[in-house]
Amino acid sequence: SQKIEQNSEALNIQEGKTATLTCNYTNYSPAYLQWYRQDPGRGPVFLLLIRENEKEKRKERLKVTFDTTLKQSLFHITASQPADSATYLCALDDNYGQNFVFGPGTRLSVLP
Amino acid sequence: EPEVTQTPSHQVTQMGQEVILRCVPISNHLYFYWYRQILGQKVEFLVSFYNNEISEKSEIFDDQFSVERPDGSNFTLKIRSTKLEDSAMYFCASRGATGNQPQHFGDGTRLSIL
């Protein structure tokens, strides 16, 4: 069966450290994968998109990797700040952009 | 920066009543989506819409649901006869047509069925 999982429901880290979040999927062949941030009571906000032929993408303190052999994406936030505290969602396209499947999310708390 | 807007932010409706949730996608986007998120659970795909027709829909999107783009700017989700289990946040999203474009989400409508 098809499944998309994120490594943990909640992750606590100290300010200044690097947060690493994992997204694993089975029985999908996505052309690309996206990461979103969601704050309580708000809609998901797009952060980064990585295509199947890309190994790594960076944007400021964010880095995403995509390994289609392992069927895994890693999302890193370096020099984390309390303002980075939120739920982070991975999403992959299931049918060339007609249908997107979201993971359950990881709630990140950055402690001062 | 252009954004997706949704109205109302909160809708309270009696079970069995019809409800229409409204969305104004980003103006030059061509793909439109509805998702729902039950409290504490994951974001679930409902339906995608392109070129004035449904592209794909999930099992959740049964005969009680319909979508419409009545004019050049609005995109609506109608639930014909609401059930208690329809209570959730409903998010609209849109994206551009070129290449692998990300989706942009609105802030949702909280639907409460009594």
Q: What is the pLDDT of residues A34-75, one digit of tens each?
A: 999 999 989 999 999 999 899 899 999 999 999 999 999 999
What's residue B49's pLDDT? 94
CB pairs < 8 Å spanning A and B? 60
Instruction: Over range A96-106, report the average pLDDT.
Output: 86
| Interacting residues of B111 by C-beta distance below 8 A, sequence separation 6+ | B11, B13, B19, B21, B79, B82, B86, B87, B88, B89, B90
Residue from B106, B95, B97 nearest B36 by CA: B106
What's residue A2's pLDDT? 76
- B40-75: burial string, b at 16+ Cβ within 10 Å, e else: eeebbbbbbbbeeeebbbbebbeeebebebeeeeeb
Q: Given a cut of 70, is residue A29 above it in pLDDT?
A: yes
8 Å CB contact of B105 and A44: yes
Q: Given a cut of 90, is residue B78 above it in pLDDT?
A: yes
pLDDT band at B99 (very low <50, low <70, confident <90, very high): low
State what percent of residues in chain B have pLDDT above 70.
96
Chain B residues within an 8 Å CB radius of A31: 100
Q: A67: helix, coil or strand?
A: strand
Chain B residues within an 8 Å CB radius of A46: 102-105
Q: Given a cut of 90, is residue B97 above it in pLDDT?
A: no
Q: Given a cut of 80, is residue B1 above it in pLDDT?
A: no
Q: Is A1 in the B-facing interface, judged by CB distances under 8 Å?
A: no
Of residues A99 and B41, more confidently modeled: B41
What's residue A98's pLDDT? 75
Residue from B83, B85, B70, B75 nearest B105 by CA: B75
At A44, give phi and psi (nearest 5°): -60, 140
What's residue B39's pLDDT? 92
Nearest C-alpha of chain B: how many angstroms from A79? 25
What's residue B73's pLDDT? 86
Q: Given a cut of 80, is residue B72 above it in pLDDT?
A: no
Chain A residues within an 8 Å CB radius of B31: 97
What's residue B76's pLDDT? 97
Q: Which of A46, A95, A98 is closest, CB to CB, to B102? A: A46
Instruction: Over range B31-59, report the average pLDDT.
Output: 93
Of residues A84 and A93, more confidently modeled: A84
Q: Is B108 in the A-facing interface, judged by CB distances under 8 Å?
A: yes
State what percent of residues in chain B have pLDDT above 90.
83
Chain B CA closest to residue A50: B100
Q: Which of A41, A49, A102 is closest, CB to CB, to B43? A: A102
Q: Is B20 in the A-facing interface, judged by CB distances under 8 Å?
A: no
pLDDT tens-digit map of A10-25: 999 999 999 999 999 9
Q: Which of A49, A100, A105 is closest, CB to CB, to B45? A: A100
What's residue A16's pLDDT? 97
In angstroms, the Cα distances linking A105 to A6, A8, A21, B55 are: 6, 8, 9, 26
Nearest C-alpha of chain A: how many angstroms from B50? 9
